[in-house]
Copies of this chain bind each other. A is one copy, B any other.
Amino acid sequence: MTELAELPAVPGAARTQGRPRSSRAHEAILEAVLDLIEEGTTVEALSMEAIAARAGVGKATIYRRWAGKDELLLETLVKLKGPPTQPVGDSVRADLIRLLSVVGQKDQRAVRVMPCLMPEVSRSPEAYRIWQEAITEPRREVMRDVLRRGVATGELRADLDVEVTVSMLISPLLLHRMVRWNPRLDDVDDLTEQIVDVVLRGVAA
């Protein structure tokens, strides 16, 4: 998918001759994208000119690395999210709380970026595919593992519907932390625990 190689700068090409691409410019461009989005620019309204200006970079320097805004955004997003949180293995409950407590809490910029991606994701099948593969699916898979292990150890019932359970666990937190769907939940301090406990009770043997 995307190459994050750094020292030689960018692609796997045998770019031996001449001045190497500046990794500093590379980083500055990605940071500029995040900064602008965080400040309220929609993904769609992001202009290459604004990105270049913010990064202190010529537009040509951007086009030398990415074919267009979409490619740039993809690399920005993948870099932003990093790898999913990993469970520890104490108990199903502790692992779920651990995984869920970081939803929308790791990097505040991700919270700002995600809603801006929704129009693109809901419109373009390609954007949807990338979003699924790079962002949501890896995180769901981690949680599926926790639930499956719980089934294996007998902590959870054998006929548990893993997909529905994952969705029930993540969705309320995602919706609250991403778009603050219900502002009254702001005051609930043990939201994660409440959700996990209700779901675990609901699916108990």
Q: Which A residues contact B (CB, under 8 angstroms)?
A: 40, 42-45, 112, 115-116, 118-123, 128, 132, 136, 140, 161, 163-168, 171-172, 174-176, 178-185, 188, 191, 194-195, 197-204
A122 near B112: Cβ-Cβ < 8 Å: yes
Q: A182-B140, A182-B166, A182-B167 are in contact. Are A118 and B121 (CB under 8 A)?
A: no
Contact partners of A180 in chain B: CB under 8 A: 122, 128
Cα distance A182–B171 in the bound complex, in angstroms: 10
Contact partners of A174 in chain B: CB under 8 A: 171, 175, 181
B194 near A164: Cβ-Cβ < 8 Å: yes
Contact partners of A161 in chain B: CB under 8 A: 188, 194
Expressed in whole angstroms, the minimum distance between the Cβ of A164 and any Cβ of chain B is 5
Please tell me how many copies of the chain the complex holds: 2
Chain B residue at minimum C-beta to C-beta distance from A183: B132
Contact partners of A188 in chain B: CB under 8 A: 161, 163-164
Cα distance A46–B124 in the bound complex, in angstroms: 17
Cα distance A123–B36 in the bound complex, in angstroms: 12
Contact partners of A176 in chain B: CB under 8 A: 167, 171
Expressed in whole angstroms, the minimum distance between the Cβ of A151 and any Cβ of chain B is 15
A42 near B112: Cβ-Cβ < 8 Å: no
Cα distance A199–B201 in the bound complex, in angstroms: 8
Q: A119-B118, A123-B42 are in contact. Are A168 and B167 (CB under 8 A)?
A: no
A-B residue pairs, 6 tightest by C-beta: A202-B202, A198-B202, A171-B171, A115-B122, A115-B118, A171-B172
Cα distance A194–B194 in the bound complex, in angstroms: 19
Cα distance A179–B118 in the bound complex, in angstroms: 7
A42 near B132: Cβ-Cβ < 8 Å: no
